[in-house]
């Protein structure tokens, strides 16, 4: 009974060369690509690339516009808060006398009673 024989270097080189020749033969046996078909494929790919570029540019512009809108809204809020703070500092607080406090308390009480009687 014979055992496994290790292939020699020449055997491995021959197998590699035959595989290379077989791949080349398969590649050379393919039908050549029609130049018109090749041009159509290139044109289609160029059109796809251009559409993607336009889409990316549109999305980028939309993001920039949204960012600018958000920044301007934040700026307006900060300016409004600053003006409110300045106004609050400029106007001295008004103190209410006892009669005004009592009338406000009575109005709140009347409103609360009206809500409770309205529930039933």
The model's pLDDT over 3-52, given as tens digits with 9 standing for 90+, comes to: 888 999 999 999 999 999 999 999 989 888 899 999 999 999 999 999 99
Structural domain span for residue 60:
35-92
Is 48 among the domain residues? yes
- Name the pLDDT band for 104 (thresholds 50, 70, 90): very high
Residue 10 included in any domain: no
- What lies within 8 Å, CB to CB, of 96 at 6+ separation is 104
Residue with tokens 């060369």: 17
Give a yes or no: residue 49 inside a domain.
yes
Rounded to whole angstroms, the Cα distance separating 109 from 116 reads 11
Distance, first Cα to last Cα, the chain: 107
pLDDT digits (tens, 9 = 90+) for 57-102: 999 999 999 999 999 999 999 999 999 888 877 766 677 788 888 9
What pLDDT is attached to residue 117?
Answer: 85
Instruction: Tally helices (H) and strands (E) across the chain.
Output: 3, 0
Count the domains in the chain: 1
């Amino acid at each position: 009974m014979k055992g496994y024989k290790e292939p020699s270097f020449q055997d491995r080189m021959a197998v590699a060369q035959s595989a290379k020749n077989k791949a080349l033969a398969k590649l050379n046996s393919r039908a050549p690509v029609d130049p018109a078909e090749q041009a159509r494929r290139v044109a289609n790919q160029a059109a796809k690339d251009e559409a993607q570029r336009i889409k990316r540019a549109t999305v980028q512009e939309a993001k920039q516009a949204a960012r600018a809108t958000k920044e301007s809204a934040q700026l307006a809020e900060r300016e409004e808060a600053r003006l409110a703070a300045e106004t609050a500092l400029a106007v001295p607080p008004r103190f209410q006398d006892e009669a005004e406090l009592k009338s406000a308390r009575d109005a709140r009480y009347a409103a609360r009673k009206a809500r409770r009687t309205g529930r039933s």
